[in-house]
Amino acid sequence: MSQKKNFSKYCTRCIHAVILIISLTLICPSSFAAERLNSKSGKHLLWSVESDRGTVYLLGSIHLMKKDSYPLPIAIENIYNCCSTIVFEADLNGMNDPAVQAKMMQTGLYPPGETLSGNISGNTFALLQERLQGSVLSADNLEQYRPWLVAQTIAGLEFLRLGFDPELGIDRYFFNRAKRDKRDVLFLETTEYQIKLIANMSEDQQEDFLEGILKEIDAVRTLFSEMLEAWKAGDEERLAAILNIGYAEHPDIYNRFIVKRNREWIPAIEDLMKQGGNALIVVGAGHLVGRDSVIDLLKKKSYKVKQH
């Protein structure tokens, strides 16, 4: 087995955990300067679907970036400029709602009398203690957190350490512009729905993903550099290969977080085509590449889909 294949196999559980806790998005490593985001192939993770009433564009988003990742390619900027409706996975300001925050804490905390250490294996808890050595947090600080929220916290701390900023993500960039430009803004899902996707995993699934984060998050930077290379090249096959590592062994996870959601989005996309005018849909790039992606499902319904 080649070194690259060994690396991919090693990162399988890390890919799953990170994709889940950041709502199936990609991460942009800080080591890439802005000029490197332009596609040498002339293609981008950007597609269009035309109808006799208008065009729907679909852009694969990277949700955490740095200032030096901008400006975006002019082709992407031009598409935004021609669209009156901008669509996102969910409301990016949704987590600012106190009711949503309360719901997240309600689903993310154990009830009185239960603890993290009492619900996961001793080995996993020991890994957590080791990971948090020298951190601002200790395992004791997280005793009331369920495994999925611990995983989110650990990953968040690591991404913060590496300098990733969700306020500079591609979706946030266009969300802020759409609000400022008074475009029509729509959402495919609610914030509460996205929280439930993670929170409703079984205890075993939650521990499995927490364990994967703790063991392999050090490999995230290298892995995401591969993802970004594929993104900036508009190489959908390469990106799909990276994202789909290990899914063959976890069809339940693949169906829950990818296939089911993609299928639920198709009617909304078809409605946009019927309404007329031009619309831009900005979703995690993992939803637009590979088997059972939104692009694949549209093609199976005989729509003519063009990559730009």
Q: Does residue 21 register a pLDDT over 50?
A: no
pLDDT band at 18 (very low <50, low <70, confident <90, very high): very low
CA 187 to CA 252: how far, in whole Å?
Answer: 25
Asked if 215 contacts 154 with a C-beta cutoff of 8 angstroms, the reply is no
Q: Which residues contact 94 (CB under 8 A, 6 or more apart)?
A: 100, 190, 191
- Residue 63 in tokens: 């949700």
Domain assignments of the chain as residue spans, ordered by start: 3-25+41-307
Q: How confident is the model at residue 250 (pLDDT cuts 50, 70, 90)?
A: low
| Model pLDDT, residue 51 | 85
Mean pLDDT (the chain, rounded): 81
| Chain segment 72-82, per-residue pLDDT in tens | 899 999 999 99
DSSP letter assigned to residue 299: H
Q: pLDDT at residue 5 above 50?
A: no
pTM over 0.75: yes
H or E stretch covering 30: none
Give mean pLDDT, residues 51-70: 85
Point out the least confidently predicted range of 42-46, 292-296, 303-307. Answer: 42-46
195 vs 32 pLDDT, higher one: 195
Average pLDDT over residues 80-92: 95
Please give the average per-residue pLDDT across 220-233, as a whole number.
76
4, pLDDT greater than 60:
no
For 104-154, what is each residue's pLDDT tens digit?
888 899 999 999 999 999 999 999 999 998 888 899 999 999 998 898 888
For residues 171 and 65, give the distance between their C-alpha atoms in angstroms, rounded to a whole number.
10
Q: In what helix (H) or strand (E) does residue 87 lie, and over which residues does it extend?
A: strand 85-88
- What pLDDT, on a 0 to 100 scale, did the predictor assign at position 34? 32
Q: What is the mean pLDDT of residues 227-253?
A: 77
Interval 64-87 mean pLDDT: 89
**CA 250 to CA 12: how far, in whole Å?**
10
**Would you say residue 97 has pLDDT above 70?**
yes
Statement: residue 258 has pLDDT above 90: no
How far is the C-alpha of 215 from the C-alpha of 208, rounded, in Å?
11
For residue 35, name the pLDDT band (cuts at 50, 70, 90).
Answer: very low
